[in-house]
Amino acid sequence: MVVWTEQERAFIQEIFGKLNYEEAGPKALSRVLIVYPWTQRYFGNFGNLYNAEAIINNPMVAAHGKVVLRGLERAMKNMDDIKNTYKELSVLHSEKLRVDPDNFKLLADCLTIVIAASMRNSFTPEKQAAWQKFLAVVVSALCRQYY
């Protein structure tokens, strides 16, 4: 069972409070598709992903980025039981979408960098640690239903 300190909970609430959901999700998803191009394999029906500009301006990437962030918000609202909150999402990613779970970490890292670029120096090392612990729990929950 994951144990959260009061400070970690506060940091994670703060980070979500400062997030512009309309921007952060799309930015993170487009960043992972650009920086780690093999992740594009899961988005064959998204149309033009030919170069960075196309990816950044792709409306399907933007829409899906928002979906991902809303999914993350569910984890934030259920921090003490992310494992069960994500059971169906895990089955979806393993059985239907068939995503190699190593790629979850890449998206998590890109989201961290988008947040760092937005929060600048207020994204202190301590906040980074709490945030990355949260994302590690999320990724682990997503990986659970892979057999």
Cβ(70)–Cβ(96) below 8 Å: no
Q: How far is the CB of 22 from another protein (least distance, A)?
A: 16
SS3 state of residue 123 = coil
Nearer to another protein (CB atom), residue 81 or residue 126: 126
Q: Is 15 in the site for another protein (CB under 8 A)?
A: no
Cα(39)–Cα(55) distance, integer angstroms: 12
10 binds another protein (CB under 8 A): no
For the residues of 49-74, what is the DSSP string, one character each?
A: -SSHHHHHH-HHHHHHHHHHHHHHHH
Indicate whether 121 belongs to the interface with another protein (CB under 8 A). yes
Under the binding rule (CB under 8 A), the answer on residue 123 touching another protein is yes
Query: Is the Cβ of residue 86 or residue 134 nearer to another protein in the bound state?
Result: 134
- 């998206």: which residue's tokens? 107
10 or 52, CB closer to another protein?
52
- Least separation in angstroms between residue 87's CB and another protein is 28
Q: Is 126 in the site for another protein (CB under 8 A)?
A: yes
What are the distances in angstroms from CA 70 to CA 62, 65, 100, 122, 125?
Answer: 13, 9, 21, 23, 25
CB of residue 60 to another protein, shortest distance in Å: 17
Q: Hunting for tokens 């670029």 — which residue is that?
A: 117
The binding site for another protein (CB under 8 A) comprises: 30-31, 34-35, 52, 56, 109, 112-114, 116-121, 123, 125-126, 128-129, 132
